[in-house]
Amino acid sequence: MLTTRPTGTNDFLPGESEKWQYIEQLCRQVCAEYGYQEIRLPIFEHTEAYLRSVGETSDIVEKEMYSFEDKGFRHMTLRPEGTAGTVRAFLENKLYANPQPTKLYYIGPMFRYDKPQAGRYRQFNQFGVEVFGADHAAIDAEVIALAVEIFRRLGLTGLTVKLNTVGCAQCRPSHMEELKIYFRQYEDKLCATCRDRLERNPLRILDCKEEGCKAVAKGAPTTIEAACDVCSAHFQKLQEYLDAIGVRYEIDTNLVRGLDYYTRTAFEIVIDSVGSAQNAIAGGGRYNGLLAQFGGDDLPGIGFAIGLERLLLTLKEQGIELPVSTAPAVYVAPLGESAQKEAFVLTQALREKGIYTEKDYLGKSLKAQMKAADRFHAKYTVILGDSELEKGMAIVREMTSGDQYEVQLNQLAEDLEGRLK
């Protein structure tokens, strides 16, 4: 146990962690260009926050939450997603008092007690955005475009934006009644989970993956058919805005999403390559009414989250190499004790110039140090031997060509700085 990580968690080792940094940096960059600011939130919240938002009938609340009672007997939950915490923070910190909309993003770990498999973990990371205070379909189109832009910059292909409108407080109640009437006729053909959903949340039957339920759901009244005029007009406008910027999408009438807070826009971005079940790389939608459920003013909201593990898996599957490098520009190879100290001073001087420099710490032979420099893929190796030191000189070797030259020690840092520019 001591050397085994918990099921469904991952260690990201050097070599892999640079890719995470690259992706996180890209997300931050795109957010800066679209005007989204970072919010950093607790990793646990009061359990109530998720019951109220994600919803009592969702898989997350029913089966997947890491909940615990703290030493003060308060019910807490490790965050399974980022929307509830962001809504809580928006209200608690009175961000609604600022000019609206408020455009936020977050990056960090989420926790769901799910059955682990490729692309599905118990601790996973999301990059997500949330926008509060804007109802216009242009903002729905903007958040979808932001997600697509991140994937575009990474060079991902085979990506489909699936889009639906899932109704609102006006049109959903009558649609739910219609769905109950419809599905009751086929109750015996539904899976056990959907039979249970029938009275509590029949909408979820629409996106059940069981074949029997899928067949029955085909004939069910869709959310698009049931949409009120306002939802229909909003959905229409969203499509016009996406068309205007060339973001392609497919309408999927069965897409209702697994969290209960969605109203109107619901979307997922799926990639063909990540196994068949775990192909949603991002998901989101509008959640008008959620802020009011938290006791705030009834401001609208919309957002999405990308699953970063799934994103990395997809990059790997598509053979996309991120431009990350861990190679030092300079490797300093001293020979002998007096050279060790000189090498240490030189290493520090190069680092102060912002040059990534490595050195030997183990007193290796010159041959072993040259091997190490090769393994590091260093651009230059500086060889400091006793005879060179006596002359106040060092040998610099350009590693790809093998060319060597001598430089005066007191000019070495400037020389290398100039060559590496």
Query: Could you give the CA distance from residue 408 to residue 340 in angstroms, rounded to a whole number?
Result: 17
Q: Which is nearer to ligand HAM, 183 or 304 (CB)?
A: 304
**CB–CB of 69/34 below 8 Å?**
no
Write the binding mask 35 to 74 for ligand HAM: x where contact by CB under 6 A, - elsewhere: ----------------------------------------
> Using the rule CB under 6 A, is 105 a contact of ligand HAM?
no
> Using the rule CB under 6 A, is 307 a contact of ligand HAM?
yes
> Using the rule CB under 6 A, is 207 a contact of ligand HAM?
no
**CB–CB of 176/203 below 8 Å?**
yes
CB of 310 to ligand HAM, least distance (A): 4
CB of 233 to ligand HAM, least distance (A): 22
**CB–CB of 324/349 below 8 Å?**
no
Among 179, 280, 312, 329, the residue binding ligand HAM under the rule CB under 6 A is 280
Write the binding mask 123 to 142 for ligand HAM: x where contact by CB under 6 A, - elsewhere: -x-x-x-x------------
Among 309, 358, 360, 388, the residue binding ligand HAM under the rule CB under 6 A is 309
Nearest to 310 by CA among 158, 119, 114, 112: 119
CB of 311 to ligand HAM, least distance (A): 8
Query: Could you give the CA distance from residue 288 to residue 300 in angstroms, rounded to a whole number?
Result: 4
> Using the rule CB under 6 A, is 120 a contact of ligand HAM?
yes
Among 18, 24, 48, 114, the residue binding ligand HAM under the rule CB under 6 A is 114
- Token pair in block for residue 1: 């146990």
Nearest to 31 by CA among 265, 239, 320, 303: 303
**CB–CB of 267/164 below 8 Å?**
yes
> Using the rule CB under 6 A, is 285 a contact of ligand HAM?
yes
Among 163, 203, 282, 373, the residue binding ligand HAM under the rule CB under 6 A is 282
Strand order in the sheet with 393-398: 357-359, 330-334, 380-384, 393-398, 404-408
Phi, psi of 44 (to 5 degrees): -130, 155
| List of residues contacting ligand HAM (CB under 6 A) | 81-83, 112, 114, 119-121, 124, 126, 128, 130, 258-259, 280-285, 303-305, 307, 309-310
